[in-house]
Structure 1
């Protein structure tokens, strides 16, 4: 099968199960108009994130890596009326665009964007309530640190999802020295031996190519 066929299947899924969404489409269009990289989650994965957060009964969500806020919108839609989402973004331009997209989506009152290096922002967080759901979609070199912070800031039962953990199969290529691949391998090793994590990972193909995500629960 070709990438074109994968994209066609994604489009079929979106047409049958997601339908059109003017708010989400406007967010992607605004991202493109501001020259943000087109690396948002796919619509199908975005809805999966929303459903998983709802299934987890999440009231307090943490996102590491905002970009233009496309995945943020999906996650924020999973929250109950009194729910809150904190999203961390290192790039001020990305955060500005995300702010516009969240305002258009009517979610500004549910979402706080914190700008700066994620490690610094995370170290400063002392939440009154633990996070119930954490989505990590940031620099892969920092994935181990981000997962450790998700555990610290979560509770027993917290769901953690890390995106882009297959990297077109590069994780099994020992000769690949890409820092993002090395960071992802370290993530697998760390999660596998962590006493407080129960995890799996899924590889996926689709409009975004060949990749996958890691799903873990804090014990």
Structure 2
């Protein structure tokens, strides 16, 4: 009898610690979902894109996230600044709260190169808030290569593999003022997606 109870407990144990979280994106009505793994947390991630002083995108997504996906930080290419804020938690349906808009950051003294158009990348960008890295990103889309430079939070600089038909790119981050003149060596899907949004705003 004790062996039977032990076996049932081992089978049900992962499900007993799998959270139920709210799932929604872009203002849609939230539903409930069971996380696929006991390693998941409930979370909400808000991404805001600023083009100059104007807010051009504000989107919040709620779902099950891993610890690595609960990101906070910003990527600033000068023409646009993308701010990511997350709130992750470890109890059922705890991701029901709204994430407040972060306060406008102040310059932190760090300086990086920025690009004015695709040819001239010798401009200066004053980094804000927790942007402690200089960043260089290059993406090739439909045979045309775009290069952008700017400031980033270190958490935005993690590398990952990328396999997207018709899209290739490289990203590198570094410490020290004006250090982002070197060629990038690693692909980061988040940064490249952010860069594509910046290219869109440049062309409109």
The verdict on a shared fold, with TM-score over 0.5 as the criterion, is: no
Report the structure, 1 or 2, having the larger strand content: 2
TM-score by length of 1: 0.29
Which one scores higher on RCO, CA 8 angstroms, separation ≥ 6? 1
Report the structure, 1 or 2, having the larger helix content: 1
